[in-house]
A and B are shown apart, each in its own frame.
Chain A
């Protein structure tokens, strides 16, 4: 029998490409935000890329293509390989309650190759935020050609807040994600090498 990896190569490849994209999109996006802040704060210049608004916009609109194509490949792979259905579903309310309680008490055991209910929920939330950040980004990029999309989001001004909020959700995910990797470092290697999925966990899956 062929050994199954914890993370198939398309997931690993898109994951790391996405990591690069996100760093660029966050840093250039924060610089663009600074051009006309929505709230009473600006992002530190050290956390931005591009040097000036024109440069930052160029970064943002260059990397959006890589982000979009990479995201599309990831989603298509997730659907076709049934990765979403197999690994991220179902999320039952009791399991969520149980895992969340454990997680908050730092008692949740990491089971190799299996996502717990809290993880599953977090992945769905960040995927939804990813879709929203792209939709709202398209809306504020093309508010006339895609005016129906802008109307759906409640107008141009609100669409800018939606784009910011989706970014903030993804940013919060990244913070939690990186914290968890630091707390459970053994999860890092399989995301690079693929790892080997324990065969028994295939049967014990809820």
Chain B
């Protein structure tokens, strides 16, 4: 098998240097072919959930992107606001389940729990929240999928609420637990952004079930999935609380 091949090469009579160059080229071509076609075929399975080497690199890059985004984030820069005429109607429903599975919240007995690095851990009622200063913005919600919709949310700035409960605002994270199995968290600078709201109203009426009644977090500077609905607990922590989607592989910071 090898002999005739050798003879064929000798018949062309390459200079030793040329021979070496040819072999190098062939090796490089082979390696490149392996890198592109073969490797891509194997890599297409890498999806952040198998725990293989490529997944580890992708997760590490995602953590690096968290840091870059935290650095890019400006606590003063406001999200553009829109007019009522520009609002998206009907506003799309979106959750990790269908509209039939919206959690039922017992409104008369609802209370918001507070825990973690805060001075006052007493739970809050909706009436109590409504007595706090309010802010209303018409902003664009951008989904991680790419679509966006403009809506109006009103409620208590999260910063105001954190001040009321005596939160340690030097802590790193604010976490949220929801009445469905959802959970999410924010970096403290975003939690203190003036447009980050504990939203009680949508389009000037109390939040309807499909938009996260009775309380949702509205963060115009984050992708949609970082705007958890049906909030039942808020906590302040120095350990990253992660999130429902974040823990599966959506970028944690997901700032926009």
B248 sits at the interface (CB 8 A) = yes
The closest CB in chain A to the CB of B246 belongs to A54
Task: Please give the distance in Å from B244's CB to the nearest CB on chain A.
Answer: 11
B142 sits at the interface (CB 8 A) = yes
The closest CB in chain B to the CB of A150 belongs to B80
Known: A54-B249, A57-B144. A144 touches B61 (CB 8 A): no
A16 sits at the interface (CB 8 A) = yes
Kindly name the residue among B45, B59, B77, B80 whose own CB sees the greatest number of chain A CB atoms within 10 A.
B80
Task: Please give the distance in Å from B31's CB to the nearest CB on chain A.
Answer: 11
Is the pair B61, A58 in contact by a Cβ cutoff of 8 Å?
yes
B-side interface size class: 35 or more
Interface of A, secondary structure class, is: helix
In the complex the two chains form, what is the Cα distance from A129 to B245 in whole Å? 33
A61 sits at the interface (CB 8 A) = yes
Is the pair A55, B47 in contact by a Cβ cutoff of 8 Å?
yes
Known: A36-B146, A142-B255, A144-B80. A189 touches B72 (CB 8 A): no
- Considering only residues 98-157 of chain A, those with a C-beta below 8 Å from chain B are 140-145, 147, 156-157
Is the pair A58, B58 in contact by a Cβ cutoff of 8 Å?
yes
Is the pair A36, B21 in contact by a Cβ cutoff of 8 Å?
no
Is the pair B250, A193 in contact by a Cβ cutoff of 8 Å?
no
A8 sits at the interface (CB 8 A) = no
In the complex the two chains form, what is the Cα distance from A192 to B27 in whole Å? 11
Task: Please give the distance in Å from A160's CB to the nearest CB on chain B.
Answer: 6
A65 sits at the interface (CB 8 A) = yes
| Interface 1/0 per residue, B72-115 and A, CB below 8 Å | 11100101100000000000000000000000000000000000
Q: Which residues of B contact A52 (CB under 8 A)?
A: 47, 249
Q: Which residues of B contact A65 (CB under 8 A)?
A: 61
Known: A54-B249, A57-B250. A35 touches B146 (CB 8 A): yes
Is the pair A23, B36 in contact by a Cβ cutoff of 8 Å?
yes
B46 sits at the interface (CB 8 A) = yes
Q: Which of A58, A144, A147, A189 contacts B249 (CB 8 A)?
A: A58
The list of the 4 closest CB pairs from A to B, nearest first, reads A51-B47, A55-B47, A54-B249, A36-B146
- Chain B residues close to A by CB (< 8 Å): 21, 24-25, 28-29, 32, 35-36, 40, 43-49, 57-59, 61-62, 65, 69, 72-74, 77, 79-80, 140, 142-148, 220-221, 245, 248-251, 255-256
- Chain A residues close to B by CB (< 8 Å): 16, 19-20, 23, 27, 32-33, 35-36, 48-55, 57-59, 61-62, 65, 140-145, 147, 156-157, 160, 189, 192-193
Known: A35-B145, A50-B44, A54-B48. 8 other contacts (CB 8 A): A50-B46, A50-B47, A50-B48, A140-B146, A145-B72, A156-B140, A156-B142, A192-B28
